[in-house]
Amino acid sequence: MAKRATVEFVLRPFEGLPGEPDWVAMREVVPAATATARTTEQYGARDVVVTTVLPLAWPAMHRGDGTIMLALQQHAGSGDASRDLADLLLRVLDLPAGTPLTSAAQPEPGPRLQDVLDLTVPFEVTVHDGFDYWTAEGAELEGEARASLERMNEAVVPTRRLTSVDAAYWARMGEREYLRWGMPHDEQDFLDALARLHATRSSGLGDEGSVGKFIGAFRSCGLLVPVWDLVPGTVAEELEEPARELGERLAAALAVEEPLNADERRARAGLVARQLTLR
């Protein structure tokens, strides 16, 4: 029997796609959101609604109105999320309208999202308050899918995407608010830059962290997503200016070429200790 070809592991599966940090954020931390994509002419120039999740954890769906929907929050895979998602997308394109793709097979080597999608189409994210966007206007889910929608709507975490910076998401979880911000930079370069700020107590949001304090970061799909614990009651609109200012400080720190000094090295060691790898 011929040995099944395997897909090679890719640390940054979404590298090269428009909005790479948003792909990661939607895959990991955003509960209800959609984004725009389109296949290349070779693959039919079809508009695609990329979403966080679908009813009953379906990987993809060809909705009754013809809309193609692809869910990012897939946990099993080959080691290359881009190849996995491209395989799902190509499979759902062949399904008749009104049909969900209910399982995710382990793909063999083949085209990745970078091959299947038109890279000139911006990845524009819309965050939703619930999951009613799963259906076309005037349509209704039935049975288990309807129950899934109702359960998800009841449990959704309030989330907003900031407009002053890219890939930054405010969320209210219980009685606390947090900012989780996907960074497109090389991990080591970003840690150096954040360490420079942390050593001078300027890694927070607002003057000396008056709006939010950096508490750690998680690593996913080859990118870091730092997290700030916000002053209780902080709403998304109050973060726009502090986030913009912090983004400018980070950009300046990223441009520094000198080695870290002793204080910055100690700060960096503390930052590394507060990282968590999700996948």
130: tokens are 């619930």
Torsion angle (degrees, nearest 10) of CA 48, 51, 56, 62: -10
Q: What whole-number distance in Å separates Cα of residue 153 and Cα of residue 159?
A: 13
Give the pLDDT of residue 278.
60
- Closest to 24 measured CA to CA, from 146, 160, 166, 165: 166
* Every domain of the chain and the residues it spans: 20-156, 161-277
3-state class (DSSP) for residue 258: coil
35 beta partners:
50, 125
Report phi then psi at 262, rounded to 5: -60, -45
Report phi then psi at 216, rounded to 5: 155, -170
Q: What is the DSSP code (8-state) at residue 259?
A: P
Orientation angle between helical segments 187-199 and 262-273, nearest 10 degrees: 120
Q: What whole-number distance in Å separates Cα of residue 215 and Cα of residue 108?
A: 40
Q: What whole-number distance in Å separates Cα of residue 4 and Cα of residue 6?
A: 6
Give the pLDDT of residue 139.
84
- Closest to 212 measured CA to CA, from 237, 244, 185, 242: 242
**Ranges under pLDDT 70 in the chain:** 1-4, 76, 276-279
Give the pLDDT of residue 1.
47
Q: What's the Cα-to-Cα distance from 138 to each of 47, 64, 70, 141, 234, rounded to whole Å?
A: 21, 11, 21, 10, 36
- Closest to 88 measured CA to CA, from 61, 63, 65: 61
Give me the residue label for tokens 């009613």.
132
Give the pLDDT of residue 277.
67
* Strands of 6-106, DSSP E: 33-38, 47-51, 60-62, 68-71, 99-101
Burial class (CB in 10 A: 0-12, 13-18, 19+), 90: middle
Instruction: Note the CATH architecture for domain 161-277.
Output: 2-Layer Sandwich (3.30)
97: tokens are 């309208």
CA atoms within 13 A of residue 266's CA, in its CB half-sphere: 4
